[in-house]
Structure 1
Amino acid sequence: MTSPSTVSAAQLLAWQSTSEAAPLVIDVRSAAEFDAVHVRGAYHVPLPTLGEHTRELADHLAHDDRVVLVCQSGVRAEQGRRHLAAVGLEHAQVLDGGVAAYEQAGGDVVRGRRAWALERQVRLTAGSLVVTGLAAGRFVSPRARLLAAAIGTGLTVSALTDTCAMGAALARMPWNRDHTDPEPTDTLDRLARRTRAA
């Protein structure tokens, strides 16, 4: 059962099938993730941009009856929803299950160059560091196991605070930066044109 702050992929598809109820879909993932696959017609507003320009975005979104935020798993979209709620935009919802759930439900997506999702990169990096720390602790020095402990502690803090420092660091890596995030002014202009046309 989904809460009022989330919407299922099936419900989003139902809304999209009627022109008068079609929601505004905003994808808060990185440019690399958005370029790899996104909901057709979604606006790309990366989470850092949303966080820095929350008030301006909320002003443009206030006229939309339905706003659905999308990411890979729902964590970043929920962070975006909280940013918007903090400035008074209470009706934004998060797509439960993210882009993968939408596609699995039969939703229309646009595919581009394949890139690993940020969450997958975090799992690979964290897992590799834990294995390295444990192996080095066995064969080099027992103190190397502290690396595994540090990663475990970081993952625990990440879960408790619903943030991800490793993900933020990985998003700045060159392989994730060869895709460029849209300029905030361009994003705001696109939303303003959409509002005027409605």
Structure 2
Amino acid sequence: MTASLDVDDALRRLPELYVVDVRTPGEFASGRLPGAVNVPLDRIGDGLADLRRAAGSGALLLVCASGARSDRGAAVLAAHGIAAASLAGGTRAWAAAGHGLERPPGPVRSVWGMERQVRFAAGTLVLLGLVLGLFVHPAFPLLSAAVAGGLVFSALTDTCGMAVALGRLPFNRRGPAPLR
């Protein structure tokens, strides 16, 4: 079980925390906790040495949109002997509590959150399977069934293979941010 900080505790301790946002670079650019650096969850293994160094200088706080990905990231770090807490409720809870999010200067390219991207991709694949089954070949509804099975598996395991795949698309990637 990973440690969790609520918004009030995180705000109070913010000056002493190394905040690591594990969302995709596109989501990170749309708004982040003050001083946060971006290490996407699917790349957290690549940043273990830097994260270990950062944890040696101060407490690590992992953040995502809702707290689910940051919990998984904290568990990965714990398995490598690196202590980290997760922000309960993520950036949504932070913003809902009335705390500001940093945004990069200049125009920001709008990127959908990962959950919205997954819902769009899954819905599109289900509809595509049904339409192709009606007009092209009766086997295409199996695509819809496979997506439904993937969604059930995702809910039962609290993982999402589709989010991992979507996270690798170019619009969800940017260069890695160095840890301070």
Common topology (TM > 0.5): yes
1:9 aligned to 2:3? no
1:87 aligned to 2:58? no
1:104 aligned to 2:104? no
1:29 and 1:45 in contact (8 A); partners too: yes
Query: Aligned partners of 2:42, 2:143: CA distance in 1, in Å?
Result: 29
Query: Aligned partners of 2:171, 2:42: CA distance in 1, in Å?
Result: 18
Q: CA-atom RMSD, angstroms?
A: 2.2
Relative to structure 1, the CA distance from residue 88 to residue 4 in structure 2 (aligned partners, 3 Å threshold; closer, same or farther) is closer
Q: Which runs of 5+ in 1 are unaligned?
A: 191-198
- TM-superposed CA distance for 1:126, in Å, is 0.4
1:46 and 1:181 in contact (8 A); partners too: no
Moved more, 143-152 or 46-55: 46-55
1:30 and 1:181 in contact (8 A); partners too: no
Q: Residue in 2 aligned with 1:62?
A: 56
- TM-superposed CA distance for 1:176, in Å, is 2.4
1:157-172 map, 5 Å: 157-172=153-168
The percent identity for this pair of structures is: 40
One-letter amino acid matched to 1:79: R
Q: Which runs of 5+ in 2 are unaligned?
A: none
Which of 115, 122, 133 aligns to 2:129? It is 133
Moved more, 101-110 or 152-161: 152-161
| Superposed CA offset, 1:129-164 (max 9, x none) | 112222333444432211111001112222333332
Which of 67, 73, 87 aligns to 1:74? It is 67
